[in-house]
Amino acid sequence: MKRIDLVQQNIDEVIKQIFSIAIDILGGPRKLVEYKRLTWLASLMEAIFVIYLHSEENQSADEIAEFLGISTQTTKAILQSKPEYAKSKLKSGDSAEKTHIAGGIAKLAYKTWKESQSGK
């Protein structure tokens, strides 16, 4: 894993806050179990890191991919994901494309987190 000099030194705390928001967007822990979506959690955490590192730390897709140990293509797919698409797939129950859904949910959660930070 490549080292990135982070602006935000408490990144793990921030990521946990965003992750918690994402879980709420998905309906909470009980819904994740109920809909058998526990396997989504790793993809969701990865997507949150990608969105955060790109948005807050100004890291490129290549830098993020190297840092997280994932492909640049996966990183780009997450960055290009659309929150509206994720919401529609959740409503329909279609979970075939986890990367796009996780990326969209991560973007929604990040936006909510960012808005909460502007009020502090």
Task: Read off the pLDDT of residues 9-55 as tens digits, 9 standing for 90 and up.
Answer: 688 999 999 999 999 998 899 988 887 777 788 999 999 999 999 99
How big is the chain by its Cα radius of gyration, in Å?
14
Q: Which amino acid is at 40?
A: W
Cα–Cα dist 97/27, whole Å: 19
pLDDT value, residue 60: 95
21-27-30-31 Cα dihedral, nearest 10 degrees: -140
pLDDT value, residue 35: 73
The mean pLDDT of 94-106, rounded to a whole number, is: 74
pLDDT value, residue 58: 92
The mean pLDDT of 73-80, rounded to a whole number, is: 95
Average pLDDT, the chain: 86
For the chain, percent of residues with pLDDT exceeding 90: 55
